[in-house]
Amino acid sequence: MTLHGVVEELAWESAFFGLRSAIVRLRDDAPALDERAFDGFHRIQAKIAASATHQLDALQQFGFRLVEGEADFALPVPAQAVDPQAQTAVAADIVPLRQMAATLFSQSRFRAPWYPPEASGRFYAQWIENAVKGVYDHECLLFRAPDGQINAFVSLRQLNENEARIGLLGGRGAGEKLMLAAVYWAQQRQLKTLRVATQISNLAAIKRYTRSGALMESTAYWLYR
């Protein structure tokens, strides 16, 4: 099968990981791809709908390998929401949040052998720091233990006038509170839909999102070359 698309360099990821990286954007109206399109890149990503088995077969012929599956959920935001009294993270919280994120997300799609062993933890540590600073995600909410230590966090980004997306969500035994905090955050902004994605293998997260009222809208595959 002929694949049509464009290869876009991922400048930030290239600099962060020290690997010249790109992503394939598959489009029927784009030129046909051949091996020359991939020259010069150390890592090339592709994300396709799980139902697009023809694209999966074609990418594998180009040497792409399956890395993980992803499920995307949508949760309707109610007109009234419970306020679980989450706190907004501040600069003084960055160091412990980085440590938590690096530990909790050490086995993402940025794992070895595709990236250096510490890359995944370092990537998500930077993500949560950026969220505290309002970069990419707009805010990080957290809950503390009685001794003041952070025990759970969630980052959020408003996508448009109707939707927001959960970025990172972590904390043992705090899933329900974190989802309540995210929903309340969205409700206060008069948004209609809260979106969140997780690995297909993360059954605990899938159960939490569905218990909170989210519906799975789509599934996808990530492939690397």
DSSP readout, 136-167? Answer: SS-EEEEEE-TTS-EEEEEEEEE-SSSEEEEE
Q: Are 56 and 163 part of one and the same domain?
A: no
Please list the residues that pair with 150 across neighbouring strands.
144
Give the model's pLDDT for residue 74: 98
Same-domain check for residues 50 and 136: no
Contacts of residue 113, defined as CB under 8 A and 6 or more positions apart, other chains included, come to: none
The answer to whether position 140 is within a domain reads: yes
Average pLDDT score over residue span 90-113: 95
Say if residue 107's pLDDT is above 90: no
Same domain assignment for residues 57 and 78: no
Residues 122 and 94 in one domain: yes
Domain boundary among 19, 40, 63: 63
Residue range of the domain that includes 13 = 3-63
Residue 2 tokens, joined:
């002929």
Q: How far apart are CA 71 and CA 200, in angstroms?
A: 6
Average pLDDT (95-116) is 94
Q: Is residue 155 part of a domain?
A: yes
Tell me, what's the pLDDT at 14?
97
In one letter, which amino acid is 9?
E
* Cis bond before residue 76 (omega within 30° of 0): no
Q: Is the pLDDT assigned to residue 205 strictly greater than 90?
A: yes
Q: Give the residue numbers of the binding site for acetyl-CoA.
A: 169-175, 202, 208
Is residue 68 one of the residues assigned to a domain? no
Annotated binding residues, as ranges?
Answer: 169-175, 202, 208
Segment 13-29, tens digit of pLDDT: 999 999 999 999 999 99
Asked if residue 199 is part of any domain, the answer here is yes
* Domain assignment present for 210: yes
pLDDT of residue 37: 95
pLDDT at 159 over 90: yes
What CATH number has the domain bearing residue 112? 3.40.630.30
Whether residues 91 and 172 fall in one domain: yes
> 124, 209, 221, 224: which is the annotated catalytic residue?
209
Q: Residues 46, 78: one domain?
A: no
Instruction: Kindly state the average pLDDT of the residues 117-123.
Output: 95
Reply yes or no on whether 209 is catalytic: yes
| Residue 203 domain-assigned (yes or no) | yes
- Are the CB atoms for 156 and 137 separated by under 8 Å? yes
180-198 tens-digit pLDDT: 999 999 999 999 999 999 9
**Is 193 found in the same domain as 141?**
yes
Say if 149 falls within a structural domain.
yes
* % pLDDT > 90, the chain: 97
Compute how many other C-beta atoms are within 10 angstroms of the C-beta atom of residue 220: 17
Sequence-distant (≥ 6) Cβ neighbours of residue 93 within 8 angstroms: 132, 140, 142, 150
The model's pLDDT over 167-181, given as tens digits with 9 standing for 90+, comes to: 999 998 899 999 999
- Verify that 136 and 178 share a domain, yes or no: yes
State the chain's mean pLDDT as an integer. 96
